[in-house]
Amino acid sequence: MSQPATSSSALILDGSDITLEQLIDVAEGRREVRLTSDAAFRARIEAGPALLERLLEEEGVVYGVTTGYGDSVTRAVQGAEDLEALPRHLYTFHGCGMGADLDVVSSRAVVMVRLVSLCRGVSGVSMALLERLVWLLNHDILPRIPEEGSVGASGDLTPLSYVAAVLCGEREVWVRPGAGQPHALRPTAEVFAAHGLTPYVLRPKEGLALMNGTAVMTALAALAYGRTCYLSRLSARITALSVQALEGNPYHFDADLFAAKPHPGQARVAQWLRDDLAHPAAPEVDATP
């Protein structure tokens, strides 16, 4: 059974922005996440569903709640049963992803990006939904998301439908059977039952809030940024190692030379090289017998 992530410093989410580095830390399993206990944050989240209910009472028509989606906006949705079924129809309709699956790190990044966005409190979702996303992350239980789908088509609709479906106890999730073992796919319903967790029931508009966003594109771009940063730093370090091995001239990377060039990235790399080359050389070993 998968275990909650361990971290000495959990990332507290309160609706404010996070850094790309923080996102990557969570995606790679180095940090847990927590929702702030601040009363103002919780009041802001709870105000969203309350506003939606008030709009329904005052106006009677809300897109994606009492109407269909897209071109079906002219089709009215009436009756409590149909209103409750609409979010499920949405994620079921879009559950047609194909190709290979996103890896676990990418899936975790997708869930995290969606969570951060929803924590801003402007999407009309409940606190219970946010807490369920946090639970998935901290228990290392991640949706299986196919790589190929409608990324960018009015939101990452197809891949994000897999996040919505998993919250509702459907489709499959990646879980770690035991410490040190690779993740394996299991039916979501079985995993929830093993944890004593009941499937979440999406409230009006929550299906739309989960799916109509760019969390997949954003998550994959953030991970690509992380890999680029690593490769850039590694390339600079290999360059410094080559200069050291060839007894090159470290003054080629002098700060004054790069200050004359209008390229901040180039100057940053030169700083990396100076830092690496400034390390004292290892003491010579006396080979005298």
Residues forming the active site: 63
Instruction: Please answer whether residues 176 and 189 qualify as being in contact, where contact means their C-beta atoms are separated by less than 8 angstroms.
Output: no
For the chain, what is the radius of gyration of the CA atoms?
Answer: 25
CA angle 72, 151, 184 (to 5 degrees): 115
Hey, what are 104's tokens?
Answer: 């676990």
Q: Which residues pair with 26 in a beta bridge?
A: none
Indicate the DSSP class of residue 14.
S
What residue type is 269 in one-letter code? V
CA distance 187 to 175: 10
Instruction: Please answer whether residues 106 and 223 qualify as being in contact, where contact means their C-beta atoms are separated by less than 8 angstroms.
Output: yes
Instruction: Please answer whether residues 258 and 266 qualify as being in contact, where contact means their C-beta atoms are separated by less than 8 angstroms.
Output: yes
